[in-house]
Structure 1
Amino acid sequence: MKITEIEIFAINLPLIEPFIISYDTYDTMPSIIVKVSTDEGIVGYGEAVPDEHVTGETWESTYRVLKHQLAPTVLGQDPLSFEKIHELMDKTVYQVPAAKAAIDIACFDIAGKKLHVPVYQLIGGRYHEKFPITHVLSIGSPDKMANEAAERVAMGYRSFKMKVGTEVMKDVERIQAVREKVGDDIDIRVDVNQGWHNAATTLKGLRALRNVNLDWLEQPVDADDLDAMVEVKSKTDVTLMIDEGLHGAKEMREIIAKRAADKVNIKLMKCGGIYPAMKLANMAEMAGIECQVGSMVESSIGSAAGFHVAFSKKIMKSVELTGPLKFSKDVGNLHYDVPFICLNERPGLGIDVDENVIQELCHKSCIVR
């Protein structure tokens, strides 16, 4: 089987409400969808959701690098040759992991459809039966975040990921307000998105939060300052997770060597897709570091790919792939049985993609053949 054609669509996914984190506010989510066709008539879909603050890629640059570099590189290749596909992409362009993830995900979708199995069967088989969904609270006032959390508890949610990363003591007020509102039996996970920058500020926040009982604290310091994570870890018993500080194998090796975190957040958009994500998970597992599959707020396409990775590995302890729940219109039909996600057994990614919606949300497109 050979790749014969790649269509690239630059779209904006409409959010139900703005998504606010420490370094940006999103009213819509920019995404690149790829449709990869083969000489056997099998079609696979992939997605890239770049983030200039995390992956160094923009929506515009991702569209261009797919159109001019990556898509021409993989034309004529066997989409089931995952190692070779990645080698060719890596030789063509350095980094650009979200762009490579789009090609990678589409190839796995094709492989599953070709072999009549879900993607998770290609990467280890199904280990988990279901995952609870963690609701993400965007940055807001303490009352707003607390009230939203209470509403979600009433819907059945048992865990929250709180976005913070402004002034540390204002963030402390937000976290304390949510804990007071939801009680002690609900898991609260705090994601600072680098907003506290250094170990001193982080430790100040943790001292003020010593009685709040956090499930874990995610990426409080600057992504490149792994030594600050080591310092924080040595001075607290709060579980620490690295997100922006982990992209690929290079960072994972250093995290393992320095014992810089208790958990790592693996995102397909940061590492280059399903195939590299599995390599990172294997490295973490050998080192005894728990993993989560996280999100750049992808559509059903990218989210489904992440779920297949999560469901296939014992070391995956949590998922935060809630993009489709945040959109007023989505390009696919990934199903959530809130507050759980239960993957089906359909071939490939296991979702239907609505090309009419892609066209409706599309700003520009091209075909590489």
Structure 2
Amino acid sequence: MARITSVDIYAIALPLLRPFIIAYDTFREMPTILVRLETDEGIVGYGEATPDEHVTGETYWSTIEVIKHHLGPAVLGENPFSIERIHEKMNQKVKGVPAAKAAIDIACHDLMGKLAGQPLYRLLGGPSHDKLVIPYVMSILAPEVMAEEAKAAVAEGYRTLKLKVGTDVSTDIARVQAVREAVGPAIRLRVDVNQGWGYTAETLQALKHLKASGIDWIEQPVHADDLDGMADIRSKTTIPVMVDEGLLGDKEMRQIIQKNAADWINIKLMKCGGLYPAVRLIHQAEMARIRTQIGSMVESAVATAAGAHLSLAKKNVWSNEMVGPRMFAKDVAAFPIEGDCIKLSESPGLGIDVNEELLTVLTRFHVKLA
């Protein structure tokens, strides 16, 4: 029976093709942490932690330290198939820190697939969808600049655009209206505020103006901890409402269901702790008739592949945003995107080949536990 015998931690930063601008931050590169687990049989699995201090309270360096001192030692000697036991051990060691736990979880799932000789989506339930379509994600820019970028994205073949907004409401309305006018009525638009509007009244005013723009949903317009506000907005608009930053794990999921606070939830492996807890959230949402999207913290091919396998396997995942690899100038592995569709391979586990030479070049800090 396979046992995990070593844990490698790689602190890296991936260069972005262009700055990524959202309501609460601007990223010019994406700091991330890769975890490499190896078994006594020489099988290797990769995982990833992409922490966001604005969402889960984890920083880049705190994540490295918690894996180094707590989660990495906890997983040594374990069978990667004992995923419930591994999560229980991690939870006993440290409360919270979901991105750090996601790195271990994803690496264990990669090992499971490789040990079973199966692509990960088959271990998660088999294919539930014929294809995985991704949106084009747009940073916050001037309305006329976003309109031109939207036209270029549509010319490249994208049929769905996700617009980042969250500054002042009037300019955000102009952004959405400019993009809709530029691309016409057939292109799907999704609007993500990233908590930027903050208050219910502002959101309801904005949605009155945005109704004519035909958006698929409004995502996290108010503060993450204001589920009452989300419920109020949902009760007063016909535009679907999505909770993102307001959902971390089971506690928030129960509250969302109790308060009728969402039509959609955005599940991110970095917010909930990996694939194992994400599956639980998907099933809870399905019972409550809430649709789910698998989102991304703009992750490398490693965590992106994990999210894509989950998206393919679960019927209640209606949308995914596995767009990270499209945003990087360099990545640790090739990721199979053709046009606006993900084409997962039949290779075991995550189905990607990490370029270990490039990983060495990108690494700023390396720790090995054995």
Same fold (TM over 0.5): yes
Counterpart-to-counterpart distance in 1, 2:200 and 2:356? 47
What does residue 83 of structure 2 align with?
Answer: 82
1:43-122 aligned within 5 A:
43-122=44-123
**Which position in structure 2 is the counterpart of 1:209?**
210
Q: Which residue of 2 aligns with 1:286?
A: 287
SS at match of 1:30: strand
- 1:218 corresponds in structure 2 to 219
1:256 CA displacement: 0.9
Q: Deviations over 1:244-300 (max 9, x none)?
A: 000001100111111100000000000000100000000001111000000000000
Contact 1:130 1:343 in 2 (8 A): no
Whether the 8 Å CA contact 1:9–1:32 is kept in 2: the answer is yes
Which 5+ residue runs of structure 2 have no aligned equivalent? none
Partner in structure 2 of residue 129 of structure 1: 130
Structure 2 counterparts to residues 249-288 of structure 1, below 5 A: 249-288=250-289
Residue 362 (1) aligns with residue 363 (2) = yes
Deviation at 1:125, TM superposition (A): 1.0
| TM-score normalized with structure 2 length | 0.99
Give per-residue Cα distances to partners, 1:11-55, cap 9 Å, x unaligned.
000000000000000000000001000101110000000000011
For the residues of structure 2 that align with 1:210 and 1:6, how far apart are their CA atoms? 50
Q: Which residue of the partner structure matches residue 23 of structure 2?
A: 22
Q: Give % identity.
A: 55
2:261 aligns to what SS in structure 1? coil
**Aligned-pair CA distance for 1:211:** 1.0
Q: What is the rounded CA distance, in whole Å, between the counterparts of 1:53 and 1:102 in structure 2?
A: 19
The 5 Å alignment of 1:126-205 reads 126-205=127-206
* Shift, 1:129, TM fit: 2.1
AA in 1 matched with 2:53 = E
Structure 1 residue runs of 5 or longer lacking an equivalent are: none
The question of 1:337 aligning with 2:330 is answered no
Take 2:211 and 2:165, find their aligned partners in 1: how far apart are those partners? 17
Structure 2: distance between partners of 1:216 and 1:201: 16
Q: In 2, distance between residues paired with 1:91 and 1:174?
A: 46
Counterpart contact for 1:142–1:175, Cα < 8 Å:
yes
Deviation at 1:132, TM superposition (A): 1.3
SS of residue in 2 equivalent to 1:367: strand
Alignment root-mean-square deviation, CA: 0.6
Write the deviation string for residues 290-340 of structure 1: whole angstroms up to 9, x where unpaired: 000000000000000000111001111010110000000000111101111
Aligned length: 369
| 1:41-81: CA deviation from partner (whole Å, max 9, x where unpaired) | 11000000000001110101001100011001111111110
Whole-Å separation in 2 of the counterparts to 1:119 and 1:81: 16
1:267–1:293 Cα contact (<8 Å) kept:
yes
CA distance in 2, matches of 1:93, 1:133: 34
Consecutive aligned runs of 4 or more in structure 1 exceeding 3 Å deviation:
none
